[in-house]
Amino acid sequence: MSEFKTLTYKGKPLVRQGQFIFYGFPDDKYILFMNILESKKVGNLEVATRVLVQIQSTDDNVSFNDKVIKQCEKRSFYEAFEIGTIWLERELKK
| pLDDT tens by residue, 26-35 | 999 999 999 9
Q: Which residues pair with 9 in a beta bridge?
A: 12
Of the pLDDT bands very low, low, confident and very high (cuts 50, 70, 90), residue 4 is: low
As a whole number of angstroms, the distance between CA 43 and CA 60 comes to 42
Looking at residue 65, what is its pLDDT? Answer: 87
N residues, the chain: 94
pLDDT digits (tens, 9 = 90+) for 48-74: 999 999 999 999 999 988 999 999 999
Phi/psi at 67 (5° precision):
-70, -30
Give the helix/strand (H/E) hosting 50: strand 45-57
